[in-house]
Amino acid sequence: MKIAGLQKTTLLDFPGKVACTVFLSGCNFRCPFCQNGELLDGSFSDVTEEAFFAFLRKRQGLLDGVCVSGGEPLVHADIGGFLGKIKALGYAVKLDTNGSFPERLLPLCREGLVDLVAMDIKNSPERYEKTAGAPVSTEKIEKSAAFLLEGGCEYEFRTTLVKELHRAEDMLKIGQWLRGAKAYFLQNFRDSDTVLCRGLTAFTDEELEAYKRLLLPFIPNTKIRGEQG
């Protein structure tokens, strides 16, 4: 497993748990707003698997969970073995995924190797490829989302909003698609020197609130990431 980085402690990424976050190299999407462009081709590695598991053994009793992020963790055929090693050390696992590999996501959840799934919703289905920056099977995305909505695993959905990519009508279509979801977070685009495509812009706080109001009739537990309450 090529590990691109390790955040040794986080109180934010895994709700209710003190955790670390491990970033795996490789992704099948090329989202224009991606902050981790150096991870996408799967070649970058900064932490050995041996060092990572030595860290986890040392932190037993201090950390509760491990957030497995990327890139896209499910591009790796051996992800099940990797998660199994984490679970064997007594940690809860949160998996960040774009939902494009239901053939891996569903068995991992059913086998108890994942405790919480954070699935990115890139956009309304008809605008998915433009937002993902790569060919997308929306059928696979919808299969992953349906599995979570049906109670296949604890989950949250989340969408990074970019002014050039997301419209009010997209929010309405997402709300209809994910109607009744337990948790849906909107998070604003953040520009930086590492963003894959230049020239993208964030929404104002007022615009984010307006998008949230569009979603609330469909998903009452819609929140803006970072807001209180």
CATH code for residues 3-224: 3.20.20.70
Res. 229: pLDDT tops 50: no
Res. 95: pLDDT tops 60: yes
> DSSP of the chain, one letter per residue?
--EEEEEEEESSSSTTS-EEEEEES--S---TT-S-GGGTTS----B-HHHHHHHHHHTBTTB-EEEEESS-GGG-TTHHHHHHHHHHTT-EEEEEE-S--HHHHHHHHHTT--SEEEEE--S-GGGHHHHHTS---HHHHHHHHHHHHTTSSEEEEEEEE-TTT--HHHHHHHHHHTTT-S-EEEEE----TT-SSSS--PPPHHHHHHHHHHHTTT-TTEEETT---
Instruction: Give residue 153's pLDDT band: very low, low, confident or very high (50, 70, 90).
Output: very high
pLDDT 10s digits, 162-217: 999 999 999 999 999 999 999 999 999 998 888 888 899 999 999 999 999 999 99
Please give the average per-residue pLDDT across 85-110, as a whole number: 98
Task: Write down the pLDDT at residue 193.
Answer: 84
Task: Write down the pLDDT at residue 227.
Answer: 66
Res. 228: pLDDT tops 60: no
Q: Of the ranges 44-58, 80-94, 167-181, which one carries the lowest mean pLDDT score?
A: 44-58
Please give the average per-residue pLDDT across 130-155, as a whole number: 97
Please give the average per-residue pLDDT across 7-26, as a whole number: 94
Res. 138: pLDDT tops 90: yes
Instruction: Give residue 42's pLDDT band: very low, low, confident or very high (50, 70, 90).
Output: low
Nearest Cα to Cα of residue 162 among 69, 28, 35: 35
Task: Write down the pLDDT at residue 126.
Answer: 94
Percent of the chain with pLDDT over 90: 86
**Average confidence score pLDDT of the chain:** 94
Task: Write down the pLDDT at residue 169.
Answer: 98
Judge residue 168's burial from the number of C-beta atoms within 10 Å of its C-beta, 0-12 exposed, 13-18 middle, 19 or more buried: exposed
Domain boundaries, the chain: 3-224
